[in-house]
Structure 1
Amino acid sequence: MDVVLNHVDYLQVGVTSQKTTRLLPAIGRKANQKVAVADSDGVITCFGMKKGEAVPVFRTLPGQRISRLELGGAPGTPQEKIFVSSGSEVRGFTKKGTSLGRTSSTECFGCSSSEQLLYGVEVPGPPSVLELNNKDGGTDGDEILYGTTDGRLGLVKITESAPVVKWEMDNEKKKGGILCIDTFDILGDGVKDILVGRDDGTVEIYALDASNELSLRFEHVLSESVTSIQGGCVGKENYDEVRIASCCSLHSGPLGLKRKITSRLCVCVCVCRSELEQLQVKVLQGREKYQQSSQSSTAVSTVPAFSVNDKFTLCQDDASYSLALEVQTAIDNLLLQSDVPIDLLDVDKNSAVVSFSECDSEPNGNFLLATYRCQANTTRLELKVRSIEGQYGTLQAYITPRLQPKTCQVRQYQIKPLSLHQRTHSIAQDRPMNTLRLVGQFSFAEVHSWVVFCLPEVPEKTPAAESVTFYFQNTFLGTQLEATYSKGEGNFKSDNISTISILKDVLSKEATKRKINLNISYDVNENSVSHTLMMIHPKLEYQLLLSKKVQLIDALKELQVHEGNADFLIPEYRSILDESARLLDEYKKQPAHLERLYGMITDLFIDKFKFKGQNVKTKVSALLEILDNYDLNSLIDFFNEA
């Protein structure tokens, strides 16, 4: 990374959505570009820079939340007209702010529909953003850059017969998901670079060489997620910049090429300090006025409104859910409450102090009560939780910002019965599969709603086709699920009998709620049990070895202190001492991992015999004894002989 860029803040606006900031094309002799930005309050702000200060061109009145902003115009003319979408309504404005009218029609205009799909493009993760390469699709106009929610980046060439993957970049450092992409020659070498903005606030510039190898040339981390990114010239002529819009209230901020400190810059610093002093005086006056009014018997207190941007997504790498919360102002504390058992995992980016309260889970169904106390000026909080499949309910987050009077917002997140399953393109057909078949007087919409209730990443809207097939993979174990259903019939196949058992129980319960009679049949493949145990085996063996190593660390350190060195130890023990920090960190980041695997094996044992009509809960203690002295062959023999 050999590019030096400076961070400059231009303007503060409301909470912005993805792709709601654009640079207007430069016209005339001046190279400076105007900026148009739309926020969740429905306000469109257009401004330019003059003598280092933001000068507004126009600003609209508040309205419905704006979800997208694009530029347009007649072919062959500058694309300088501003179009925004709010719900089902599209509005247009000139660069001066004059309204071009609006439309709220839901019909399609100028579209040619076809029932035949040419082909699909498989990408390594759920796509979150698409952008034409070099803004025009490259040499042949058929190259598309894409970013995924799990932080991967790639380039695909769309040909007439089949897609061609030019390159893909993995997210090895576990950075945030990609929200925005742009191409711009910020390095000045005549080749457009790739600008990337992520939901964890990371801004990146990648250069691509002749052999399609990516190299990271610049990286900067903001405190808020990056919703829009674009290269251009805003602040000063002949200075290229990377213009950024962050999610929570800060249109922050072009990263301009390094400039010398001039006398004008010193004047700007003095002006900013003067404005800060004036703001501090106004804040003190406002607090005094509020204290006086709060003591009045006739005064009415109003709750301050604040926007929250949240995201609850399944992470494929570690089979956990990531909860990211962003608030306009600083977060004071966050209270988490769950009516299902979940584990909280450590996150390196999280500097908040967490404390747990005792929960009475039996009568109240309250399994988790945790409080995160945030440091000053924390506007973004990220945490991870891991659920248990088969136990479903609601996770609630109570967000309290540093505002007076004290107020709180509650956000709810559904923990689904098969919460650790993720959509995939296809599954292996050579695995031993168990089958569950449902037949009854239910509609296509009803059975689809049941699947939506059970599994993540399924669209809530009922598909237009008469039947549909979805494929899923368990992110924790790697087992698979195929769901095919239509009106009056549903077929589910999985190589994990516990998955079939969970579906059977949940779907029966949902049908009973609606007073629908179901004819349920199933076919159990005996080989699937040993197949699942073999898939669990490497994870269980690794966790058992990790647990034993961690237990030895303290004793080995005492021996090292007593003897003065560790040369007398065998190489295996010396290796444990050398890697003690990494082992402890890994063990800390995976709480109850071993117990979770024990629980999955126990559920598999119970579910196998439940389909045979046998209750084997009395033999669970014998199963746990075998797990304590783990051997794969002994475990498989126990399953077969029981």
Structure 2
Amino acid sequence: MMEMNLSRVDFCQVSTTSQKCMHILPASGRKDPLQKVLVGDQAGVLQLFGMKKRDPTHVFKTMPSAKICRVSLGGPVGGVKEKIFAAAGSEVKGYTKKGKQFLTFATNLSEDVQSMHVEAADLLVTGKYIFNHYRDLQDINYYYSTDEINDIVCLPLEKSESQDEVTPILACNDRTLKIMKGSDLQYEVELPGPPSVIELFCNDGGEQGDEIVYGTSDGRIGLVQVTRYGDRTGPIHKWQVENADSLGGVISLDNYDITADGCLDLLVGRDDGTVEVYGFDETDEPIRRFKQTFNESVTAIKAGKVSNIDYDEIVLTTYAGWVNSLTTEPQTKEISAGGEVKYSEENQAKIASLRQEIEMLQKQVLTERDNYQVQAQNPSSISAVPGFHINNKFVLNRDDASYSLSLEVQMSIDHVLIQSDVPVDLLDIDKNSAVISFSSCEPEQGNFLLATYRCQANTTRLEVKIRTIEGQYGKLRAYLTPRIQPKTCLLTTYCIKPLSLHQRTHSFDDTRPCNKLTLTGKFSAAEVHSWVTFCLPELPERVPAGDSVNFIFTSTFLDTQLNCTYRKGEAVFLSDNISTISILKDVLSKEATKKKIKLDVSCDLNDDSIEHTLRLIHPKLEYQLLLAKKVQLIEALKELEANESSVEFLSPEYRQILEDAEKLQAEYKKQPCHLERLYGMITDLFIDKFKFKGVNVKSRVPQLLEILDNYNMDNLKTFFETAQ
């Protein structure tokens, strides 16, 4: 693997930024060979600047207006893209590279523009659910998506058979890419996670112009070919990179030859601040060559020659508004004989200027603080609460069946209070430097968790991992207090759903033994959709169009599946896990009762599904029991090792435990309550099996736990079959 050395350089700071809010314009020519950086922020300011002697020099800067949520570049087919387009609210404005505004276009979207792509005379914009296609500012195509649209691109017209045939591609929250033809959905491509960003591979879609690189909200990246290829039709998945290091979700992508090896590299920016460079070393599969972590979400990433014509650099923007660079230019330091670092005259002048600016700002802060204290003592004065925006995500990770809660603000965080009215577990995160303290709770009062994270200085982003229990549902609340005066706090609330560990998918295995739950009654499709949305995550707010609706889910913890089909007056649920059916029956009945709707409920149970579910749990339970046993032996084995000159007398199995001691303990620490959670699922399965038969077997639970402590699959199956 080729090692890369990139040095960080800070350009400037703007207001908070949104995804895809920054671009690098092409160089103007010989007279001005350096490229310019274009940034739009949430204060509504669009600015274009170049770098001169490491200082930003503005070409133009607009006045503050509505929040800019997308910035895009446009130009003729096959030509230079240097026309600037910015989307704010439901409007799109166009600017020349000199800053002259040539377009103000009010789209007919009923919602704000969320994503945008410009291709020659075609303007493609999307709201949360709506896609509109304009040609020469005339509305020609429209599509209403069944799920939220996260991003949009268009296959390049220069590689299309017809330059009138635009092929938009929508990245949707239901784990699909939707390939459009006019106003119609041509077909869908299923992805391993919800795509949060898509780009043309190699900036032009590859050889055929139809290759799309995507990044998902759970941290995966991949490449898919979306149209006809050779004598095959339909999508071809070329490669996929798993999120083995449990990094953040992908927010931004770019293609640029930063390693100067003649092959475009893939640049990746994530919501946990990680920047990665992937190269292609004589293979079609990407290999990571560089990784660096910032303290803030990376909202946009591009590369070019911005500061020095001889050196490439990666330019990125963060949520808090920093415009940074990772440059290939060596940042050398001269060290004197006494060990002191010698700086160039240019750097010395810059350091002196920065020190002077810091002193001036400190004086201003002290003056304003004194003025505030004087005004606060005046009985007639009113203290205004400062407003601030929070960038937050609550995402389910399939790999470890846990939720990742990330909270980010522009200023430093003082502390965050997490409160839950349902039982949840907080998991350790290595990159979390905050100090956590727990307060005593009263579960009988509906308070199961009260934890405070005290953050270190200059921390603007906090990430927390949470594991929920299916069947237990309620609210999780986060109270964030930043380091500002006067003290203020922002509350964000997240729903813990009854089937919180289920995740959307698009395939259902009919060969598995399934249990069936059927609900009939006088309810509308919208009402039953609201009940299902209350139970399951990753569903659209609005009921999809059509006579019947179908959603398929898989359990991230057990790999069981759930098929939901419903329409006006009828809902059918299929699952190979009887506990899933039991939870749905209880919650849906309760929701219908609230609406005073009478339901006819029927359950068709398959006894074979019990053994099937136990077999799915078996490898996980066996592994956790073995891990717990190994961890218990470590201390005793270490004592033997300390007292004996050699451990050769130990069996190979015990010697291996000693060698892997740190790894085993770290793994065990990362899985708190994992064994108890599996015990709980088997207990629920046991109770639910007999509950549907009208038998209460809670008195047999201690006997079941005793069998689990001395686990044997055959004994467990026998107990399930004979217990009554």
Instruction: Give the TM-score, by structure 1 length.
Output: 0.96
Aligned partner of 2:459 among 367, 378, 381: 378
Aligned partner of 2:705 among 621, 624, 628: 624
Residue of structure 2 in register with 1:14 after alignment: 15
Contact 1:444 1:486 in 2 (8 A): yes
Q: Offset of 1:431 from its aligned partner? A: 0.6
Q: What's the secondary structure of 1:370's corresponding residue? A: strand
Greater shift, 421-430 or 251-260, is seen at: 251-260
The whole-number CA distance in structure 2 between the counterparts of 1:10 and 1:259 is 15
Q: For residues 76 and 119 of structure 1, do their structure 2 counterparts lie closer, same or farther at Cα, with a shift above 3 Å needed?
A: closer
Q: For residues 488 and 33 of structure 1, do their structure 2 counterparts lie closer, same or farther at Cα, with a shift above 3 Å needed?
A: same
Q: Offset of 1:441 from its aligned partner? A: 1.4
Residue of structure 1 in register with 2:112 after alignment: none
Alignment of 1:421-436 (within 5 A): 421-436=502-517
The whole-number CA distance in structure 2 between the counterparts of 1:260 and 1:356 is 47
Contact 1:88 1:105 in 2 (8 A): yes
The whole-number CA distance in structure 2 between the counterparts of 1:482 and 1:269 is 63
Residue of structure 2 in register with 1:31 after alignment: 33
1:105 aligns with 2:108: yes
Greater shift, 468-477 or 41-50, is seen at: 41-50
> For residues 435-466 of structure 1, what are the alpha-carbon distances to aligned partners after superposition, in whole Å with 9 as ceiling and x for unaligned?
01111111111111111111111111221222
Greater shift, 240-249 or 75-84, is seen at: 75-84
Aligned partner of 2:48 among 46, 49, 63: 46
Contact 2:391 2:409 in 1 (8 A): yes
1:151 aligns with 2:219: yes
What code does the residue aligned with 2:613 have?
Answer: T
Q: What's the secondary structure of 2:140's corresponding residue? A: coil
Q: Offset of 1:380 from its aligned partner? A: 1.3
Instruction: Give the TM-score, by structure 2 length.
Output: 0.85
Contact 1:52 1:268 in 2 (8 A): no
Contact 2:515 2:603 in 1 (8 A): yes
Q: Offset of 1:489 from its aligned partner? A: 1.2
Residue of structure 2 in register with 1:185 after alignment: 257
Residue of structure 2 in register with 1:475 after alignment: 556
Cα RMSD, aligned residues only: 2.0
Contact 2:141 2:182 in 1 (8 A): no
Aligned partner of 1:122 among 190, 194, 204: 190
Q: For residues 190 and 569 of structure 1, do their structure 2 counterparts lie closer, same or farther at Cα, with a shift above 3 Å needed?
A: closer
Q: What's the secondary structure of 1:23's corresponding residue? A: strand
The whole-number CA distance in structure 2 between the counterparts of 1:327 and 1:129 is 22
The whole-number CA distance in structure 2 between the counterparts of 1:550 and 1:4 is 40
What code does the residue aligned with 1:13 have?
Answer: V
Alignment of 1:247-396 (within 5 A): 247-258=319-330, 262-362=344-444, 364-396=445-477
What code does the residue aligned with 1:310 have?
Answer: N
Greater shift, 144-153 or 388-397, is seen at: 144-153
Aligned partner of 1:447 among 528, 540, 543: 528
Contact 1:88 1:104 in 2 (8 A): yes
> For residues 116-169 of structure 1, what are the alpha-carbon distances to aligned partners after superposition, in whole Å with 9 as ceiling and x for unaligned?
644322322221211111211112211111112222222222222211222222
Contact 1:352 1:375 in 2 (8 A): yes
Aligned partner of 1:415 among 472, 496, 505: 496
The whole-number CA distance in structure 1 between the counterparts of 2:472 and 2:715 is 29
Q: Offset of 1:103 from its aligned partner? A: 0.3
The whole-number CA distance in structure 2 between the counterparts of 1:2 and 1:556 is 40
Q: What's the secondary structure of 2:499's corresponding residue? A: coil
The whole-number CA distance in structure 2 between the counterparts of 1:558 and 1:195 is 49
Q: For residues 94 and 412 of structure 1, do their structure 2 counterparts lie closer, same or farther at Cα, with a shift above 3 Å needed?
A: same
The whole-number CA distance in structure 2 between the counterparts of 1:209 and 1:474 is 37
Contact 2:507 2:552 in 1 (8 A): yes
What code does the residue aligned with 1:348 have?
Answer: D
Greater shift, 473-482 or 95-104, is seen at: 95-104
Q: Offset of 1:409 from its aligned partner? A: 0.7
> For residues 566-620 of structure 1, what are the alpha-carbon distances to aligned partners after superposition, in whole Å with 9 as ceiling and x for unaligned?
3343333332222222222112111111111111111111111111111111221
Residue of structure 2 in register with 1:511 after alignment: 592
Aligned partner of 2:306 among 234, 245, 249: 234
Residue of structure 1 in register with 2:151 after alignment: none
Contact 1:7 1:256 in 2 (8 A): no
The whole-number CA distance in structure 2 between the counterparts of 1:206 and 1:200 is 18
Residue of structure 2 in register with 1:83 after alignment: 85
Q: For residues 8 and 635 of structure 1, do their structure 2 counterparts lie closer, same or farther at Cα, with a shift above 3 Å needed?
A: same
Contact 1:8 1:256 in 2 (8 A): no
Greater shift, 523-532 or 219-228, is seen at: 219-228
The whole-number CA distance in structure 2 between the counterparts of 1:9 and 1:292 is 37
Contact 2:313 2:325 in 1 (8 A): no
Greater shift, 75-84 or 199-208, is seen at: 75-84
Query: Which ranges in structure 2 are unaligned for 5 or more consecutive residues?
Result: 110-131, 134-138, 143-180, 334-343
Q: What's the secondary structure of 1:257's corresponding residue? A: coil
Residue of structure 1 in register with 2:338 after alignment: none
Q: What's the secondary structure of 1:323's corresponding residue? A: strand
Q: Offset of 1:259 from its aligned partner? A: 5.2
Q: What's the secondary structure of 2:433's corresponding residue? A: coil
Q: Offset of 1:74 from its aligned partner? A: 5.0
Q: What's the secondary structure of 1:553's corresponding residue? A: helix
Contact 2:218 2:395 in 1 (8 A): no
> For residues 337-359 of structure 1, what are the alpha-carbon distances to aligned partners after superposition, in whole Å with 9 as ceiling and x for unaligned?
00000000011111111111110
What code does the residue aligned with 1:282 have?
Answer: Q
Query: Which ranges in structure 1 are unaligned for 5 or more consecutive residues?
Result: none
Contact 2:305 2:311 in 1 (8 A): yes
The whole-number CA distance in structure 1 between the counterparts of 2:591 and 2:14 is 45
Residue of structure 1 in register with 2:61 after alignment: 59
Q: Offset of 1:77 from its aligned partner? A: 6.0
Q: Percent identity?
A: 57
Contact 1:392 1:416 in 2 (8 A): yes
What code does the residue aligned with 1:157 have?
Answer: Q
> For residues 392-419 of structure 1, what are the alpha-carbon distances to aligned partners after superposition, in whole Å with 9 as ceiling and x for unaligned?
1111001111112211111111111100
Alignment of 1:513-592 (within 5 A): 513-592=594-673
Q: What's the secondary structure of 2:187's corresponding residue? A: coil
Q: For residues 78 and 569 of structure 1, do their structure 2 counterparts lie closer, same or farther at Cα, with a shift above 3 Å needed?
A: closer
The whole-number CA distance in structure 2 between the counterparts of 1:444 and 1:374 is 46
The whole-number CA distance in structure 1 between the counterparts of 2:435 and 2:284 is 44
